Amino acid sequence: MNRTINIEQCQGYIWKSDADKPQVFNGCACNLVLDDSANPFVLEAMLYDAQTQDSYMIKYVDGRHLIQEYNLFNKFDDVTEISVLPNRMEGIPELKLKQFWKKTPDKLCNGFETLTPAEIVFAGFKKVGE
């Protein structure tokens, strides 16, 4: 599979298989070409386009790139923002993730709807003091 992702003002990172730390993008252009047969390959990437609110989460598994693509505009009503510490990303205080919840009927609650985790999506970097 070949796929190209272009983001003009990208927040995120790309970690290649031959690198000891990720390539970080903080407001600059990102042009990522994913080729399953390439070596070195993209081991992991999380990219966010604040203009379009598109988020890309990429993992390399069993010889191919798995891409989860989300548009965060009007995603779900119930959302929790989560912050996690980055690994080997100088100058980046925290990663922003959004935990989305969905309402599902629960047999243990007499059929009433309860919130259950739906997905966690990358939403850029937290700014210092945010």
Domain regions of the chain by residue span: 2-71, 79-126
Q: How far is CA 77 from CA 24, 56, 71, 98, in A?
A: 30, 20, 14, 12
- Stated pTM of the model: 0.87
Kindly give the confidence (pLDDT) of every residue in the chain, 130 residues in length, as a single tens digit, with 9 standing for 90 and above.
789 999 999 999 999 999 999 999 999 999 999 999 999 999 999 999 999 999 999 999 999 999 999 998 876 678 899 999 999 998 899 999 999 999 999 999 998 999 999 899 999 999 877 6
**Distance between CA atoms of residues 14 and 42, nearest Å:** 7
